[in-house]
Each structure stands twice: as structure tokens, then as C-alpha cells.
């Protein structure tokens, strides 16, 4: 795949090499034919992190790791005084995830560095590829944890003390896999940030479009709800005298659907349920729900949360409700978005501008540096699913747009610096 010419030389993405990396690194956490279980800060996460560090060091990168475990692999530029152009994503997955979510963005970054190295192109700016810690939030909440700490959205001390459901803290897990770094979060400024990702939705595939130019990310609100009841013998308690926590929780699940449907294009999901004591012949005495609410506007997200809480109070006045995470909607920098659009058009790829339904590390970084995202199609719109898939050609096209955009930004930002 061709790319921009820089300093008289052409850097090109090698599609077969990128695909080989995607398939070979999938061994870290693989299950079944295509499934991935690589939870944040697990042994499998350590293995793929070690692979990333080794590959980047072989290309002449310096490696920095901050105290939340984010990894920064920096390829040297002609002017070490310029802030790097950064890109990246995450390597952790859902408990039953796929081989592309987040992973593509990191491995495409590695392939970009290889393309520069092969063509012997020294960019003006250093180029940094980042592995963000715990983007998924499936083991430790909230999601986008590493980028959130780095960009000042979360306090390091609070996050480090956060425990998974087994009582293991983030700090303990970082120590266990050897990725508790010594760099302070926020140590490296960025000239710009780009993130390549699968769409995780059906729009691009349904419209037969090759590249999504992402202008914004919708907001997210996570709620933990604990519904009380009274445990009792399933045979001895008449139906009219029960305080069944699961019945109340079921009504709350339906309320999530109803409230979200009233606020389209907002969405609401109950992704986790735990009933206690979880025995066939015992009426449930407590149920825990984990709720995910999303909307592209601040007002819409606030209305979703407010109305759902009112419904919970109506159904179960004694329910405990805790907001775990709130990430407002984010708009990306129009200049960086326009560079992505221009390079996509120059390559002859079909494209559409869109808002991301899923959250991404770029949503945090956008508050720190001019940022944008690039999407490629997802098969059937599936993600967080073992059937998650994007073709070799689709992955290579996304990586080529990323490479061209980085080289274009390298020249534009250098011109801006010299002009000032």
C-alpha cells in the first residue's frame, strides 16, 4: 500500500506483515477459534506488552512506562525538541472479546514505525506509539483508566487502589506483571494524537464505506445499582408476601431499555447482573446491576441518568445507586479531522464523517492535544464478541490512512513551528 513521500522517499504499509502481527499476537489470551480473554494487567497482558516493547526497541525506539503502566515507544525525529506526534490504543480485551478491538490501533502503530524504518525516513517530530492501560474497564472500573490518569481525569492514587472482583488492586496487578513504571502521568506532551480503531458498529459495512472519519465520541455514564430484598425459602413464602430483589431488578432492566428508547440516539445497557445468594430454592435477597448509559450530547446524557434514577427509586425505594464514571461527550480537533479526511480522499478511499458510539482513549487525550480518530468497518457491526472481524485489506487501508495522516501532520506542524 502506497503512502506519502517524505524527504524523497516513500513509506509503505505492508499488509501481510500487519496481518501476521494481528494473528500471531492473538495467541496471548486466545480461546476457541477466534476468542480473546486478555484482561488488563493479567499474565496474558504482560506477554503481549513484552512483545510490543521488544518489537519497538528493535526499531530503535526508546521505551517509557508511567506509574499507571501506560507504555510509550518513541521513534526518534530530526528535532528532539519537538513534542511527539502520538498514536495508540489498548491491548487488553473483554472477558470474551475479539482480536481487533484496540489491538489494531497499537499494531498499526508498530507497522507505521516499521514503514518509516524500512524507508529510512527520519520524521521531523518524534513519533510515539502508546499502549494505554485498561481501556476496557472489564477487570477494573472505570474504562479508559490509563489515559484518564495520564490526562488528569482520574487521580493516580485513587485508581491504584481500585480492586477487581477478586480483591486485587491495580497497584498490585501492575507490580505482579512488572509494568509499574516510574514516569509521572502526563510527562510527555503531544503535538497531535491519532487513534485507528474498528468501528464496533454496523454503519460503515452497511453503507459499503471504507473509512470512518471520527469527529466526536458520545458521552458515557456508568451506574452501579444494588437492589435489596429479603431472602426466604422458595416454597414457604407466599407470592403475595415476597420481597424478591430479582423481580425488582428485572423491572429496572426494562426501565433502562424504556428510558434509553425515549432519548434516541442514546443507548442504555445492563451488562452485569449478580443475584444473591444465587440458589434455586432461595428467594433473591440482593441483586447488583452494572449499567452503561451513552448519548452524544451533555443534555441527553444527563436526561438519561436523571430519568433512570427516578425509575429505580420508584421500583425499589431502598436501592443503592452509585455513579462509577461520567465521561462527557468529546469533539475532536477540526484541523486534525480535516487532515485525516484529506489523506483519505487522496488515497481514493470512500469515507463518511461520524460520531463514535464507543468510548476510546482518544476521548481523554483530546483534552490534552489536538486529536482525531480513524475507523474501519466491523463485520456485522460486532465487537466485544469472539466473532469480531475486519479483513486484512480493511486493516491495511486504515493503517495507510494513519501513516499518511502522520506524515502530513509532521510537515504541517513543522511549518507552523517554523512560521512562529
Q: Concatenated DSSP letters for 185-245?
A: TT-S--SEEEEEEE-SSSHHHHTT-SEEEEEEE-EEEEEEEEEE---EETTTS-GGG---H
Q: Where are the beta strands (DSSP E) in 229-383?
A: 232-233, 267-276, 282-283, 286-295, 320-327, 330-331, 351-356, 371-376
Last residue of a domain, one of 298, 327, 356: 327
Is the model's pLDDT at 58 over the cut of 90? yes
Consecutive H or E run containing 314: helix 298-315
| Domain identity same for 303 and 340 | no
| Domain identity same for 39 and 168 | yes
Number of C-beta neighbours around residue 271 at 10 A: 12
CATH number of 235's domain: 3.30.70.360
Band of pLDDT at residue 4, cut at 50, 70 and 90 = low
Is the model's pLDDT at 419 over the cut of 70? no
Last residue of a domain, one of 301, 327, 353: 327
Q: What is the pLDDT of residue 237?
A: 97
Mean pLDDT of 387-407: 98
| Domain identity same for 177 and 58 | yes
Last residue of a domain, one of 327, 354, 375: 327
Supply the range of the domain harboring residue 239.
219-327
**Considering the entire predicted model, what is its pTM?**
0.88
Band of pLDDT at residue 6, cut at 50, 70 and 90 = low
| Domain identity same for 288 and 169 | no
Q: What is the pLDDT of residue 211?
A: 98
| Domain identity same for 62 and 201 | yes
| Domain identity same for 65 and 182 | yes
Is the model's pLDDT at 281 over the cut of 90? yes
Mean pLDDT of 395-419: 94
| Domain identity same for 74 and 209 | yes
CATH number of 26's domain: 3.40.630.10
Is the model's pLDDT at 388 over the cut of 90? yes
Q: What is the pLDDT of residue 8?
A: 60
| Domain identity same for 305 and 371 | no
| Domain identity same for 317 and 340 | no
Number of C-beta neighbours around residue 277 at 10 A: 10
| Domain identity same for 266 and 128 | no
Number of domains in the chain: 2
- CB-based contact 97:105 (threshold 8 Å): no
| Domain identity same for 309 and 208 | no
Q: How far apart are the first and last CA of the chain?
A: 35
Q: What is the pLDDT of residue 43?
A: 98
pLDDT in tens, 64-105: 999 999 999 999 999 999 999 999 999 999 999 999 999 999
C-alpha to C-alpha distance for 25 and 258, rounded to whole angstroms: 41
| Domain identity same for 251 and 373 | no
Amino acid at each position: 500500500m502506497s503512502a506519502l513521500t517524505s524527504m524523497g522517499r516513500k513509506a509503505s504499509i505492508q499488509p501481510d506483515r500487519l496481518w501476521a502481527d494481528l494473528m500471531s499476537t492473538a495467541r496471548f489470551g486466545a480461546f476457541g477459534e477466534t476468542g480473546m480473554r486478555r484482561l488488563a494487567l493479567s499474565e496474558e497482558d504482560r506477554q503481549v506488552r513484552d512483545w510490543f516493547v521488544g518489537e519497538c526497541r528493535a526499531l530503535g525506539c526508546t521505551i517509557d512506562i508511567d506509574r499507571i503502566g501506560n507504555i510509550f515507544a518513541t521513534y526518534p525525529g530530526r528535532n528532539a525538541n519537538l513534542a511527539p506526534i502520538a498514536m495508540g490504543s489498548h491491548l487488553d480485551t473483554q472477558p470474551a472479546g475479539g482480536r481487533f478491538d484496540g489491538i489494531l490501533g497499537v499494531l498499526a502503530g508498530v507497522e507505521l514505525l516499521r514503514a518509516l524504518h524500512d524507508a529510512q525516513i527520519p520524521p521531523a517530530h518524534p513519533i510515539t506509539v502508546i499502549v494505554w492501560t485498561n481501556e476496557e474497564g472489564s477487570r477494573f472500573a472505570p474504562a479508559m483508566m490509563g489515559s484518564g490518569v495520564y490526562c488528569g481525569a482520574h487521580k493516580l492514587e485513587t485508581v491504584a487502589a481500585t480492586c477487581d472482583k477478586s480483591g486485587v488492586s491495580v497497584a498490585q496487578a501492575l507490580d505482579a506483571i512488572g509494568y509499574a513504571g516510574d514516569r509521572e502521568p502526563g510527562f510527555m506532551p503531544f503535538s497531535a494524537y491519532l487513534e485507528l480503531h474498528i468501528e464496533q458498529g454496523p454503519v460503515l459495512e452497511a453503507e459499503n464505506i471504507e473509512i470512518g472519519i471520527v469527529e466526536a465520541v458520545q458521552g458515557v455514564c456508568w451506574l452501579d445499582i444494588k437492589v435489596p430484598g429479603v431472602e426466604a425459602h422458595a416454597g414457604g413464602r407466599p407470592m403475595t408476601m415476597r420481597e424478591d430483589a430479582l423481580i425488582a431488578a428485572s423491572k429496572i432492566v426494562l426501565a433502562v431499555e424504556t428510558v434509553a428508547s425515549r432519548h434516541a440516539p442514546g443507548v442504555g445497557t445492563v451488562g452485569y447482573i449478580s443475584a444473591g445468594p444465587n440458589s434455586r430454592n432461595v428467594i433473591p435477597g440482593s441483586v447488583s446491576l452494572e449499567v452503561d448509559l451513552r448519548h452524544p450530547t451533555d443534555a441527553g446524557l444527563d436526561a438519561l441518568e436523571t430519568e433512570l434514577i427516578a425509575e429505580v427509586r420508584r421500583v425499589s425505594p431502598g436501592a443503592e445507586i452509585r455513579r462509577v464514571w461520567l465521561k462527557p461527550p468529546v469533539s475532536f480537533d477540526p484541523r486534525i479531522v480535516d487532515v485525516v479526511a484529506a489523506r483519505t480522499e487522496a488515497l481514493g478511499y470512500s469515507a463518511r464523517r461520524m460520531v463514535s458510539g464507543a468510548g476510546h482513549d482518544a476521548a481523554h487525550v483530546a483534552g490534552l492535544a489536538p486529536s482525531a480518530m480513524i475507523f474501519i468497518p466491523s463485520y456485522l457491526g460486532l465487537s466485544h464478541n469472539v466473532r469480531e472481524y475486519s479483513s486484512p485489506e480493511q486493516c491495511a487501508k486504515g493503517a495507510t490512512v494513519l501513516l499518511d495522516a502522520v506524515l502530513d501532520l509532521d510537515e504541517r506542524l513543522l511549518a507552523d513551528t517554523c512560521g512562529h
